[in-house]
Amino acid sequence: MKNIEQINDKISSGKAVVLTAEEVIDYVDKKGLDQAAREVDVVTTATFGPMCSSGCFLNFGHSKPKMRMTEAWLDDVSTYAGVAAVDLFLGATQLQANDPANRDYPGDFRFGGGHVMEKLVAGEEVQLFALSYGTDEYPLKELRTTFTINDLNQCIMVNPRNCYQNYNVAVNTSDRPIHTYLGYLKPQMKNCGYSSAGQLSPLLNDPFYRTIGVGTRVWLAGAQGHVYSEGTQHSPTCERGHLGVPSEGAGTLALTGDMKKMLPEFVRGVSLKGYGVSLSVGVGIPIPILDEQMLLQTTVRDRDIMAQVIDYSTDYPERTGRVLGSVSYEELKSGSIMLDGKKIEAGGLSSYSKARKIAGILQEEIRSGQFLLTRPIAPLPLEQSMKPLKEASS
Amino acid sequence: MSTEPITRKLMLYFPECETEKPIVYHLVKDYDLIINIFRARVTPEEEGYLVLDVTGTEEHILQGTEFIRSLGIRIDAVNKGLAWDENKCAQCGSCVPHCPTNALSIPDRNTMEIVFNTEECIECLSCIKVCPFAAVSSLF
């Protein structure tokens, strides 16, 4: 039995035993749960993948004369200006103005909000164009200038939904290729797309949110951010398998962090042909090993984590709820899965290799005393499900 | 020199003036080379590119490439028509099921790192369509 304070004392004195969620599997196999639980203080988890529900708040400071921005674009990507005079919100999935989108199907979606966020973190120059109706104290009506992230007062990332606990595996049973947010799917189930770091993924290592809750400090693309709320669509009441690990979407986290402290490698604009733009973000979350049970949760392996195969040509868009089958992340990561005797090639959208790198970076930061653990200030809900849209029939 | 046939992948760059010569014809007829063209863009009065495999004895390939160079055509042995930018690649692997020759592959399924082998690439450009990070690009 350990508590967060004891673990933090060990971290501060450079004596904490920190393993990644990959390393801990073999370690427990070798040492046994009982001994390993006494030795291991922290297990680092990580994920890197598209987190569509992302964006950032920017504060520009005031022009001379002052302006109350009512419409604004960053590199021609429309932002939300209904916040305050010089605060803007940029959404990761917002397209650049005049992008033909899917009018020229399948659209390329080369640049959007996520790409602007990538440029900001990389320290590149971005163009601001803003309009206003003008007021007595904010007379300026039009502004065009360039800036970098260093010129801003704040640039704060928010991910209302991040770290999806698990996710669908998408296939296409139709006769024509389809373009989805899980990638290009060939007809007749020739390939499938998935997106999870599996055994490294944060919420698969703490499936009942014992240590990860509101207020938990996280590694968000290199910055020390935190969980500010349950994520949107958080739906922990779900089908669960080995060690209580969900075999479908389930829990999510809402994260925030200072983009000025982020690393460009882990904030990447995403272009999905025929679908749109998004943002891939790297997240690392430490799990304090409070007791044997917590350690046991972190020993979950890819072969025990299952995901549901869903047909994105009919069942997903039509919301039929039909599931074609269930496969493990070990199978998915092997490069192909078997479904009803048919071999289907598998390609990920989340990067396991980047997730490994992040788990390693966080491990080093904790070992060297730079990253301390937190006790959540409020737990995440353990029982609730996701409602479909109520469509009024008038 | 060995008389065993070998295969080399070449990218030819044609400056504007050299696009009218029947190069492939001469490679086949004069140097006994087997040619497999992956991709070509040769437009009159513009620069052109040709990416191909040549198969033959090492001696014939050497003579053939000398002939190509004698026409003022540049042979790029390092860069091919498709470039993979390791720094832009986020190692997601969504390209791998779409690569017909395993030029883009994940040899180690524990680390899940993407490897690009340009010699295996037939420049079908499938990866360009599916890469979310614009990590692969065509030089022409």
The answer to whether residues A297 and A16 touch, using CB atoms and an 8 Å cutoff, is no
**Residue B113 contacts A, CB cutoff 8 Å:** yes
Task: Give the residues across from B12 on adjacent strands.
Answer: B50, B75
pLDDT band at B109 (very low <50, low <70, confident <90, very high): very high
Closest-CA residue of chain B to A330: B109
Question: Rounded distance, CA A25 to CA A364, Å?
Answer: 19
Do A351 and B91 make contact, defined as CB atoms within 8 angstroms?
yes
Report chain B residues whose CB lies below 8 A from the CB of A191.
97-98
Task: Report how far residue A217's alpha carbon sits from residue A378's, in angstroms, rounded to the nearest whole number.
Answer: 13
Task: Estimate to the nearest angstrom the gap between the alpha carbon of A24 and the chain centroid.
Answer: 23
pTM: 0.95
State the Cα–Cα distance between residues B137 and B109, nearest whole angstrom.
Answer: 25
Task: Say whether residue A27 is in contact with chain B using an 8 A CB cutoff.
Answer: no
ipTM: 0.93
Residue of A287, A268, A250, A1 lying closest to A111 (CA atoms): A268
A347 to B94: CB separation less than 8 angstroms, yes or no = yes
pLDDT in tens, chain A (394 residues): 899 999 999 999 999 999 999 999 999 999 999 999 999 999 999 999 999 899 999 999 999 999 999 999 999 999 999 999 999 999 999 999 999 999 999 999 999 999 999 999 999 999 999 999 999 999 999 999 999 999 999 999 999 999 999 999 999 999 999 999 999 999 999 999 999 999 999 999 999 999 999 999 999 999 999 999 999 999 999 999 999 999 999 999 999 999 999 999 999 999 999 999 999 999 999 999 999 999 999 999 999 999 999 999 999 999 999 999 999 999 999 999 999 999 999 999 999 999 999 999 999 999 999 999 999 999 999 999 999 999 998 6
pLDDT at A171: 98
Q: Does A48 touch chain B (CB under 8 A)?
A: yes
Per-residue model confidence as pLDDT tens digits over B16-28? 765 577 889 999 9
Which residue type, as a one-letter code, is found at position A254?
A: A
Q: For residue B29, give Cα distances in angstroms to A233, B10, B21, B69.
A: 67, 18, 14, 17
- What the block records as the tokens of A302 is 């890819």
Does position B44 have pLDDT exceeding 80, yes or no?
Answer: no
Contact B137, B83 (CB under 8 A): yes
C-beta of residue A345 within 8 angstroms of C-beta of residue A191: yes
